[in-house]
Structure 1
Amino acid sequence: MPQNKKEGIFFTTIVCFSMVISMSAYNLLLHGQFSLSNLFGGLVPGFIVAFIFDVLVVSSPAKKIAFSLPVNKEKKIQLIIAVSSCMVLGMVFFMSMYGVFMQFGFTENFLRYYVDAFAKNLIMALPLQLLLVGPLCRMILSMSRQSNWLKETND
């Protein structure tokens, strides 16, 4: 887990990017619209929206909820699972809304489309985050920490 502000920004960026590209590919495949042009065409706006939701809306409440859960906070893995799960729930809540809005707009069927998208996204996002993206990004963070390029300086 990040130990300073620089590491926090780096970690948030790589997790957010990894989840956006993965979930975008998943949703395009679900709707039979996958192509590299569709994937990369929506990547920058999707990443910007996800990063804003992550930093400004989801992160703080998700961490507060995770730390209030009855998990052994001395066991790092339990804390990681709690925080990651709460983050995924919050991000799927908002990003499913964003995805439905971008694909269909606010129609009379918005709520039905949203509930369907939320369920399908949660099924994919939670294991993706817990089993692949989270561990991979923590490994990248650890490697970057060893190279000292994320070290806080007084510059």
Structure 2
Amino acid sequence: MRELPTTKKEHIIFGLMMCMGMVVVMMFFNLWHSGLLGKMSSLEILFQFVLCFIIAFLVESFIVGPVARKIAFSLPFDKSNKILGVLAMSFFMVMGMVLMMSIYGMISASLAHQPSSASVWSTYLHTIARNFSLALPYQLIILGPLVRYVFGRFIKGKGSVVPST
């Protein structure tokens, strides 16, 4: 397993990488699911991406990240086992971000005039289930390992990018 961030700067870079990967996939998934993907211009999609990315990064950095870290590392498991630490942290990060960003998604859909006949609570629960069913496997199987690899190779191991002669 590649190295994880240890400094404040590394945490910010790692968070930006993780946030970028999650926002791209989850935003397009939700735009597609709500039928807005084919109806929005490239400029509207870019605006949505930038806005969603900023909100997601702030929520992750100041709310979900600290809470998830506190919960994950308060669990009774061997803290020297990096895999268990990554799994616990990933689960609580995804759970927190899905809970928070599903609210953002519902507000965005409402502003885009995508009314729902269901109650707000019912729509929220459905949105959480739908988003969690994609976000957790995507985080655990694809994005998490990819970001940890890229981070470990190009950020932590800066000197190992250029092969020695």
TM-score in terms of structure 2 length: 0.83
User: Which consecutive unaligned segments of at least 5 residues does structure 1 have?
Assistant: 149-155
- Matched residue, 1:140: 150
Question: Retained in 2: the 8 A contact 1:93–1:118?
Answer: yes
- Matched residue, 1:21: 24
Larger RCO, structures 1/2 (Cα 8 Å, 6+ apart): 2
For residues 34-57 of structure 1, the C-alpha deviation after alignment (integer angstroms, 9 at most, x for no partner) is: 247254331000001101100111
The one-letter code sitting in structure 2 at the alignment partner of 1:137 is: V
The alignment of Structure 1 onto Structure 2 pairs a total of residues equal to 148
Q: What is the deviation of 1:78?
A: 0.5
Q: Distance in 2 between matches of 1:114 and 1:31?
A: 14
**Residue 114, structure 1, aligned to residue 119, structure 2:** no
Q: Distance in 2 between matches of 1:115 and 1:14?
A: 28
Please list, as runs of the form range in 1=range in 2, the aligned pairs for 1:89-128 lying within 5 A after superposition.
Answer: 89-104=95-110, 109-128=119-138
Of 73, 86, 95, the residue aligned with 1:67 is 73
Percent identity between the two aligned chains: 36
Based on CA coordinates, which of the two structures has the bigger radius of gyration? 2
Of 53, 78, 86, the residue aligned with 1:47 is 53
TM-score in terms of structure 1 length: 0.88
Question: Retained in 2: the 8 A contact 1:24–1:39?
Answer: no
CA RMSD of aligned residues (A): 1.9
For residues 45-81 of structure 1, the C-alpha deviation after alignment (integer angstroms, 9 at most, x for no partner) is: 0001101100111111100100011222111001000
Q: Distance in 2 between matches of 1:19 and 1:102?
A: 17
